[in-house]
Structure 1
Amino acid sequence: MMAKPVYILNGPNLNLLGQRQPEIYGHETLADVESMCRRAAAGLGLDIRFHQSNAEHQIIDWIHEARQGADGIIINPAALTHTSVAILDALNACDCPVLEVHISNVHRREAFRHHSYVSLRADGVIAGCGTQGYVLALERLATLLGRQHSDSRRG
C-alpha cells in the first residue's frame, strides 16, 4: 500500500513570514520553511503537500481533502487557532494524526493567544521552537506513523 502525503497547512499572515514582526517570528520566509520541510520529509520517507491561505474556508477545504488523501496533518492555524470552531470541527472529522505548530511561544504572549481550539483535537502541540517546530512535527508524525528514519542526532 502506497503511503499518502502529509499535509502541512499554514493559516493567515504566514505568507508574510520573514517580513512581519521578525522579532517574534524570525527572518525566515514561508518559502524557506517549505524548503526545510521538504528536506526533512525526504529524510523521513514522507511526501508533503505544503499550503498556506489567509482564508479560513480554504484551510477547511484542505482538511476535508486530507481526510481521504493524507497520512497526517501538521497545522499552524496562526490567528485562527484562537477563533475557529470550524477548523476544529473539520479536524475532528479526520482520523489521521494531527500536530499543531506555532513558531512563537503563544503562552508568553497576549492572554487571548493562550487558548487553542485546535489543541482540543491535536495529538501534539509544538510551540516556541521557531520554524524548527515544523521539522519536530514531521519527526513526531513519522514516529506516530511507524516510519523508520535515520537521524544523526540519535545514537
Structure 2
Amino acid sequence: MSKPVYVLNGPNLNLLGKREPHLYGSTTLADVEAECRALAAELGLTLEFHQSNHEGQMIDWIHAAREAAAGIVINPGGWTHTSVALRDALAASDLPVIEVHVTNIHKREEFRHHSYVSGIAVGVIAGLGTQGYALALRALQRLLAPAQH
C-alpha cells in the first residue's frame, strides 16, 4: 500500500458551507471530504483528511506527513498570509505541496494577496470553489505516479 496524501485544512474551514456562503458556497467540509475520498479511490490514492483551528496541531500533522505521506494538499486558510512557521514546516516536509483556496485570494482584500505557502508549493489553485481540492488531488496523483512505479 502506498503512502497517503494528507489533505489539511486550516482555521475556520470547519465552517465551510455556513460561513459567508456568498464567498465560500454551501458545500460543507464534510462534503469536501466525501468528494475527496471518492476521487482518491478512483485515482488509487488513500487520504488522511484533517482540519484544525490550532496552528500547532497543523504543524504537528505536517511533521508527521514528512515520514508518513506521499504529498500534501493544503488549504491554509488565514495562515496563508500570516504563518512563517507553517511555511517552514511545509518546506521541511520535503513533500510535494499543492495549495488550495476556495476563493480567489487575489480578488479579495490586499492583505490576502500574499501567501507564505505559494513560494514552496508545486502548485496553487485558487478561486475555483471546492472543486480545487479535486483538481489538486488529480495533479498530485500525476506528480506522484512516476515515483510509485
Q: Which runs of 5+ in 1 are unaligned?
A: 148-155
Q: Paired residue for 1:12?
A: 11
Q: Paired residue for 1:29?
A: 28
Deviations 1:26-84, CA, capped at 9 Å, x for gaps: 00110000000001111100000000000000100000000000000000000000000
Indicate the RMSD between aligned Cα atoms, in angstroms: 0.7
**1:88 is aligned to 2:87:** yes
Which structure shows the bigger proportion of residues in helix conformation? 2
Measure, in 1, the Cα distance between the counterparts of 2:26 and 2:112: 22
Q: Paired residue for 1:44?
A: 43
Measure, in 2, the Cα distance between the counterparts of 1:4 and 1:132: 23
Which residue type is aligned with residue 90 of structure 1? A
Q: Residues 1-155 of structure 1: matches in 2 within 5 Å?
A: 2-146=1-145
Shift of 1:96: 1.4
Shift of 1:146: 1.3
Measure, in 1, the Cα distance between the counterparts of 2:16 and 2:95: 28
Measure, in 2, the Cα distance between the counterparts of 1:97 and 1:44: 17
Measure, in 2, the Cα distance between the counterparts of 1:130 and 1:146: 26
Q: Paired residue for 1:153?
A: none
Q: TM-score, normalised by structure 2?
A: 0.96
Measure, in 2, the Cα distance between the counterparts of 1:121 and 1:84: 13
Deviations 1:101-155, CA, capped at 9 Å, x for gaps: 00000010000000000111100000001000000000000000016xxxxxxxx
Q: TM-score, normalised by structure 1?
A: 0.93
Measure, in 1, the Cα distance between the counterparts of 2:39 and 2:132: 12
Aligned residues: 146
